């Protein structure tokens, strides 16, 4: 039986959580096993950027896939591994969240940053395609949601091991009060349809995973977040480039360069990422490698800057 996990980051029994449950119920009725967790019930420590996981990942790659990738936090330091177990056991993941300051709540990006350390994200599974899917449900009080769905969809894809397998997304605007979504039958029906689409794609045994939601500007991640780079358009999520098609002084669309094979979600994308990271520094099994002169500059400089100004500590900890 296919398993679908819902991850809620909104208010308890709030708008996004209700829509998530509507979607999960539709998945259940279509023959899936469903569960959900509230991210607020879990203590997830933020990534400290120590890079232990990055170094272990490189070591593993250079050792032909041998070796473990883990975090500097012990597994029982918080509830992170509990979430990882649920994510890994799921075939489908539905993220549901409110918009907070144009984005999903920070707790969701805390989870996103940490998944790097178990080798779930960052291209670790490229070339090992798994038939797992994700979908996103977003609710905003107004229409201040421009960064919201792109970050949710990016998070969902990273939870699947960097696979852009988004099958549906729904964004609801102008829904500020708790429970208000219950007066909006169209939104409730749309959430049920999202659940059906997740179940449909999970039960398909062959053919490509297809997207069922509203089309966005980017044909790969179906978001509308485009940045201008070197005179060209680029999808902020997929790192996919193209040129605007202008008619009557208006942008009618974007003529994209190719397909998913050249985006962030492909082996090509991972190679590009690694080449960019390693353009200025060498990474070996032992970690970053510098010339003696560089190492001296860095060691001495860090001592000097470390000695300049002590941070103001929180009063509570004094
Ligand atoms: C701290 C905070 C920031 C918010 N920022 C936005 C925002 O940028 N855009 C928006 O549309 N709604 C914003 N809202 C409104 C919520 O998205 C809205 O109330 C939503 O219904 C909450 O969903 P929930 O019931 O699932 O928790 C914000 C709410 C809070 C508490």
| Protein residue closest via CA to atom 19 of ligand 1 | 176
Q: Ligand 1: which of 6, 38, 100 to mutate, judged by most atoms within 8 Å of the beta carbon? A: 100
Cα separation values, 309 from 18, 48, 304, 312, 318, Å: 48, 21, 10, 9, 18
Per-residue pLDDT at 113 exceeds 60: yes
Per-residue pLDDT at 153 exceeds 90: yes
Nearest atom within ligand 1 for CA of residue 96 = 26
Highest mean pLDDT among 56-60, 299-303, 314-318: 299-303
Nearest atom within ligand 1 for CA of residue 99 = 17
pLDDT band at 124 (very low <50, low <70, confident <90, very high): very low
Query: Mean pLDDT lowest for which of 117-126, 186-195, 276-285?
Result: 117-126
Query: Mean pLDDT lowest for which of 85-89, 180-184, 270-274, 300-304?
Result: 270-274
Nearest atom within ligand 1 for CA of residue 144 = 9
pLDDT band at 247 (very low <50, low <70, confident <90, very high): very high
Pocket lined around ligand 1, Cβ cut-off 6 Å: 10-11, 14-17, 98-102, 139-142, 144-145, 175-176, 178
Per-residue pLDDT at 318 exceeds 70: no
> Ligand 1 centre and the CA of 103: distance in Å?
9
> Ligand 1 centre and the CA of 62: distance in Å?
45
What is the Cα–Cα distance from 17 to 9, expressed in whole angstroms? 8
Instruction: Give me Rg for the CA atoms of the chain.
Output: 21
Higher pLDDT, 1 or 64: 1
- Decide: 210 and 201 in contact? Cβ < 8 Å: yes
Query: Mean pLDDT lowest for which of 115-119, 155-159, 186-190, 245-249?
Result: 115-119
Query: Hey, is 111 helix, strand or coil?
Result: helix
Q: Ligand 1: which of 141, 172, 180, 182 to mutate, judged by most atoms within 8 Å of the beta carbon? A: 141
What is the Cα–Cα distance from 258 to 238, expressed in whole angstroms? 12
Q: Taking the mean position of all CA atoms in its chain, how far away is CA 155?
A: 1
Taking the alpha carbons of 117, 123, 124, 125 in that order, is the dihedral positive or negative? positive
Residues near 92 by beta carbon (within 8 Å), at least 6 away in sequence = 2, 3, 4, 5, 27, 32, 132, 133, 134, 135, 198, 199, 201, 202
Q: Ligand 1: which of 8, 40, 99 to mutate, judged by most atoms within 8 Å of the beta carbon? A: 99
Query: Mean pLDDT lowest for which of 38-42, 46-50, 287-291?
Result: 287-291
Q: Taking the mean position of all CA atoms in its chain, how far away is CA 206?
A: 25
- Decide: 71 and 111 in contact? Cβ < 8 Å: no
- Decide: 92 and 137 in contact? Cβ < 8 Å: no
Average pLDDT, the chain: 91
> Ligand 1 centre and the CA of 176: distance in Å?
6
Per-residue pLDDT at 121 exceeds 90: no
> Ligand 1 centre and the CA of 51: distance in Å?
33
pTM: 0.93
Nearest atom within ligand 1 for CA of residue 178 = 25
pLDDT of residue 129: 64
> Beta-carbon neighbour count of residue 80 at 10 Å?
22
Nearest atom within ligand 1 for CA of residue 16 = 26
pLDDT of residue 126: 42
Taking the alpha carbons of 24, 12, 82, 269 in that order, is the dihedral positive or negative? positive
Residues near 132 by beta carbon (within 8 Å), at least 6 away in sequence = 90, 91, 92, 93, 160, 161, 163, 165
> Ligand 1 centre and the CA of 318: distance in Å?
34
Angular region, 287: left φ>0, alpha ψ -120 to 50, beta rest? left
> Ligand 1 centre and the CA of 141: distance in Å?
5
Interaxial angle between packed helices 80-89 and 106-114, expressed in degrees from 0 to 180 and rounded to the nearest 10: 80
CATH class for the domain made up of 1-213 = alpha beta
Nearest atom within ligand 1 for CA of residue 103 = 8
What is the Cα–Cα distance from 40 to 36, expressed in whole angstroms? 12
């Amino acid at each position: 039986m296919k398993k679908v996990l819902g991850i809620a980051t909104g208010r308890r029994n709030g708008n996004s959580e209700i829509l998530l449950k509507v979607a999960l119920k539709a998945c259940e009725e279509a023959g899936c096993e469903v569960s959900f967790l509230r991210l607020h019930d879990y203590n997830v420590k933020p990534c400290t950027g120590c890079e232990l996981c990055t170094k272990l990942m490189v070591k593993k790659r250079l050792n032909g896939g041998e070796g473990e990738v883990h975090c500097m936090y012990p597994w029982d330091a918080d509830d992170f591994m509990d979430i990882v177990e649920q994510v890994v056991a799921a075939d489908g993941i539905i993220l549901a969240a409110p918009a907070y300051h144009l984005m999903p709540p920070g707790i969701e990006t805390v989870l996103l940053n940490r998944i790097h350390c178990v080798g779930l994200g960052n291209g670790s599974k490229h070339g090992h395609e798994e038939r797992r899917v994700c979908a996103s449900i977003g609710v905003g009080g107004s229409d201040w949601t421009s960064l919201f769905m792109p970050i949710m969809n990016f998070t969902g894809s990273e939870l699947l091991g960097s696979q852009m397998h988004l099958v549906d997304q729904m964004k609801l605007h102008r829904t500020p009060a708790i429970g208000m979504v219950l007066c909006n039958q169209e939104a409730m029906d749309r959430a049920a349809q999202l659940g059906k689409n997740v179940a449909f794609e999970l039960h398909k045994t062959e053919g490509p995973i297809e997207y069922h939601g509203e089309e966005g500007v980017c044909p790969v991640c179906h978001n509308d977040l485009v940045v201008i780079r070197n005179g060209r358009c680029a999808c902020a999520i997929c790192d996919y480039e193209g040129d605007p098609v202008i008619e009557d002084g208006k942008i009618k669309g974007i003529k994209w360069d190719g397909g998913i094979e050249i985006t962030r979600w492909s082996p090509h994308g991972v190679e590009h990422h690694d080449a960019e990271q390693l353009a200025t520094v060498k990474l070996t099994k032992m970690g970053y490698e510098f010339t003696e002169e560089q190492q001296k500059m860095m060691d001495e400089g860090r001592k000097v800057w470390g000695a300049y100004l002590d941070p103001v500590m929180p009063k509570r900890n004094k």
